[in-house]
Amino acid sequence: MSLSLTAADFHAGASIPAIHTCDGADTSPALSWSGVPAGTKSLVLIIDDPDAPDPAAPKMTWVHWVLYNIPPQATGLPAAVHQGDLPPGTLAGMNDFKKTSYGGPCPPAGRHRYFHKLYALDVVLPDLGQPTKPQLEKAIQGHVLAHTELMGTYQRK
Protein backbone atom coordinates (compact mmCIF):
# COMPACT_ATOMS: atom_id res chain seq x y z
CA MET A 1 0.00 0.00 0.00
CA SER A 2 1.38 3.42 -0.91
CA LEU A 3 1.18 6.57 1.16
CA SER A 4 -2.09 8.42 0.57
CA LEU A 5 -3.66 11.62 1.90
CA THR A 6 -7.35 12.57 1.94
CA ALA A 7 -9.46 15.42 3.30
CA ALA A 8 -12.88 14.97 4.88
CA ASP A 9 -14.33 18.12 3.25
CA PHE A 10 -12.99 17.99 -0.32
CA HIS A 11 -11.74 15.53 -2.92
CA ALA A 12 -8.57 15.78 -4.98
CA GLY A 13 -8.91 18.63 -7.48
CA ALA A 14 -12.13 19.92 -5.91
CA SER A 15 -12.88 23.23 -4.24
CA ILE A 16 -11.87 23.69 -0.60
CA PRO A 17 -14.90 24.72 1.50
CA ALA A 18 -14.95 28.38 2.57
CA ILE A 19 -14.83 27.41 6.28
CA HIS A 20 -11.14 26.56 5.77
CA THR A 21 -10.36 29.95 4.17
CA CYS A 22 -10.15 33.62 5.11
CA ASP A 23 -13.73 33.94 3.89
CA GLY A 24 -14.87 31.55 6.63
CA ALA A 25 -13.51 30.44 10.00
CA ASP A 26 -9.99 29.96 8.55
CA THR A 27 -9.71 26.56 10.24
CA SER A 28 -7.57 23.67 9.05
CA PRO A 29 -9.29 20.85 7.17
CA ALA A 30 -9.54 17.35 8.62
CA LEU A 31 -6.81 15.30 6.97
CA SER A 32 -6.33 11.52 7.04
CA TRP A 33 -3.51 9.41 5.74
CA SER A 34 -2.69 5.75 5.32
CA GLY A 35 0.03 3.57 3.86
CA VAL A 36 2.84 4.96 6.03
CA PRO A 37 5.83 2.81 5.01
CA ALA A 38 7.68 0.56 7.42
CA GLY A 39 10.70 2.30 8.92
CA THR A 40 9.00 5.69 9.05
CA LYS A 41 10.20 7.65 12.10
CA SER A 42 8.27 10.91 11.48
CA LEU A 43 5.97 12.70 9.05
CA VAL A 44 6.06 16.20 7.56
CA LEU A 45 3.06 18.16 6.31
CA ILE A 46 3.40 21.23 4.09
CA ILE A 47 0.50 23.11 2.52
CA ASP A 48 1.36 25.64 -0.18
CA ASP A 49 -0.02 27.59 -3.12
CA PRO A 50 2.21 27.87 -6.22
CA ASP A 51 -0.18 30.31 -7.91
CA ALA A 52 0.45 33.43 -5.80
CA PRO A 53 -0.50 36.14 -6.23
CA ASP A 54 -2.37 35.51 -9.51
CA PRO A 55 -2.57 32.15 -11.34
CA ALA A 56 -2.36 34.06 -14.64
CA ALA A 57 1.08 35.38 -13.60
CA PRO A 58 2.37 33.45 -10.57
CA LYS A 59 5.37 35.01 -8.85
CA MET A 60 5.86 32.85 -5.78
CA THR A 61 4.70 29.83 -3.80
CA TRP A 62 2.77 30.96 -0.70
CA VAL A 63 3.19 28.64 2.29
CA HIS A 64 0.10 28.04 4.45
CA TRP A 65 1.22 25.44 7.02
CA VAL A 66 4.43 23.68 8.01
CA LEU A 67 4.43 20.75 10.47
CA TYR A 68 7.19 18.27 11.18
CA ASN A 69 8.00 15.37 13.51
CA ILE A 70 4.42 14.18 13.32
CA PRO A 71 4.57 10.70 14.88
CA PRO A 72 4.22 7.88 12.33
CA GLN A 73 1.44 6.30 14.42
CA ALA A 74 -0.79 9.33 13.76
CA THR A 75 -3.37 8.69 11.06
CA GLY A 76 -4.47 12.28 10.51
CA LEU A 77 -5.37 15.65 11.95
CA PRO A 78 -8.86 16.76 12.99
CA ALA A 79 -10.50 19.84 11.49
CA ALA A 80 -9.74 23.13 13.24
CA VAL A 81 -6.84 21.56 15.15
CA HIS A 82 -5.06 23.93 17.54
CA GLN A 83 -1.32 23.89 18.14
CA GLY A 84 -1.73 22.33 21.59
CA ASP A 85 -3.87 19.52 20.17
CA LEU A 86 -1.38 18.32 17.54
CA PRO A 87 -0.06 14.77 17.99
CA PRO A 88 2.62 14.60 20.74
CA GLY A 89 6.05 15.59 19.44
CA THR A 90 4.73 17.49 16.43
CA LEU A 91 6.57 20.76 15.81
CA ALA A 92 5.48 23.72 13.67
CA GLY A 93 7.40 25.80 11.19
CA MET A 94 6.78 29.33 9.98
CA ASN A 95 4.31 29.97 7.17
CA ASP A 96 4.18 33.02 4.91
CA PHE A 97 1.62 34.67 7.21
CA LYS A 98 4.51 34.75 9.74
CA LYS A 99 2.59 32.30 11.93
CA THR A 100 3.26 28.76 13.10
CA SER A 101 -0.41 27.81 12.80
CA TYR A 102 -2.61 27.05 9.81
CA GLY A 103 -3.41 29.97 7.52
CA GLY A 104 -6.15 29.21 5.02
CA PRO A 105 -6.55 30.15 1.38
CA CYS A 106 -7.16 33.85 0.71
CA PRO A 107 -6.27 34.34 -2.96
CA PRO A 108 -6.30 37.93 -4.21
CA ALA A 109 -7.19 36.90 -7.78
CA GLY A 110 -8.34 33.83 -9.67
CA ARG A 111 -8.64 30.15 -8.73
CA HIS A 112 -5.56 28.93 -6.88
CA ARG A 113 -4.30 25.39 -6.27
CA TYR A 114 -3.43 24.34 -2.72
CA PHE A 115 -1.07 21.39 -2.39
CA HIS A 116 -1.21 19.38 0.84
CA LYS A 117 2.08 17.46 0.85
CA LEU A 118 2.82 14.60 3.24
CA TYR A 119 6.31 13.13 3.59
CA ALA A 120 7.33 9.97 5.46
CA LEU A 121 10.87 10.28 6.84
CA ASP A 122 13.40 7.75 8.12
CA VAL A 123 14.41 10.13 10.95
CA VAL A 124 12.97 12.29 13.68
CA LEU A 125 14.32 15.73 12.93
CA PRO A 126 16.04 17.81 15.61
CA ASP A 127 14.14 20.84 16.88
CA LEU A 128 14.70 23.29 14.02
CA GLY A 129 13.05 26.18 15.83
CA GLN A 130 10.38 27.50 13.49
CA PRO A 131 11.77 26.52 10.09
CA THR A 132 10.46 27.96 6.86
CA LYS A 133 9.43 25.59 4.09
CA PRO A 134 12.84 25.89 2.32
CA GLN A 135 14.69 25.20 5.59
CA LEU A 136 12.53 22.15 6.28
CA GLU A 137 12.87 20.87 2.72
CA LYS A 138 16.65 21.09 3.09
CA ALA A 139 16.51 19.20 6.41
CA ILE A 140 14.47 16.32 4.93
CA GLN A 141 16.71 15.80 1.89
CA GLY A 142 17.93 12.22 1.78
CA HIS A 143 15.39 11.11 4.42
CA VAL A 144 12.15 10.84 2.44
CA LEU A 145 10.83 7.27 2.28
CA ALA A 146 7.60 8.25 0.54
CA HIS A 147 5.50 11.29 -0.22
CA THR A 148 2.01 12.05 -1.45
CA GLU A 149 -0.01 15.13 -2.37
CA LEU A 150 -3.63 16.20 -2.20
CA MET A 151 -4.55 19.26 -4.25
CA GLY A 152 -7.63 21.38 -3.62
CA THR A 153 -8.60 24.69 -5.21
CA TYR A 154 -10.17 27.92 -4.02
CA GLN A 155 -11.38 31.15 -5.62
CA ARG A 156 -12.90 34.04 -3.70
CA LYS A 157 -16.32 35.22 -4.82
What is the mean pLDDT of the segment spanning 117-127? 98
- For residue 53, is the peptide bond before it cis, meaning its omega torsion is within 30 degrees of 0? yes
pLDDT in tens, 7-64: 999 999 999 999 999 999 999 999 999 999 999 999 999 999 999 999 999 999 999 9
Q: For residues 104 and 19, is the Cβ–Cβ distance under 8 A? A: no
Give the burial string for 74-86 (b: 16+ CB within 10 Å, else e).
bebbebebeeeeb
The pLDDT of residue 16 is: 98
The pLDDT of residue 1 is: 75
pTM metric for this prediction = 0.97
Please tell me the chain's helix, strand, coil percentages from 3-state DSSP, rounded to the nearest 5. 10, 35, 55
With CA atoms as reference, report the closest residue to 154 among 94, 122, 99, 108.
108
CA distance from start to end of the chain? 39
Distance of alpha carbon 100 from alpha carbon 117, whole angstroms: 17
Q: Among residues of the chain, what percentage have pLDDT more than 70?
A: 100
In order of their start, the domains of the chain are 4-144 (3.90.280.10)
- Find the helix or strand (DSSP H, E) in which 137 lies: helix 133-140
Mean pLDDT of the chain: 97
Q: For residues 65 and 117, is the Cβ–Cβ distance under 8 A? A: no
What is the mean pLDDT of the segment spanning 72-95? 97
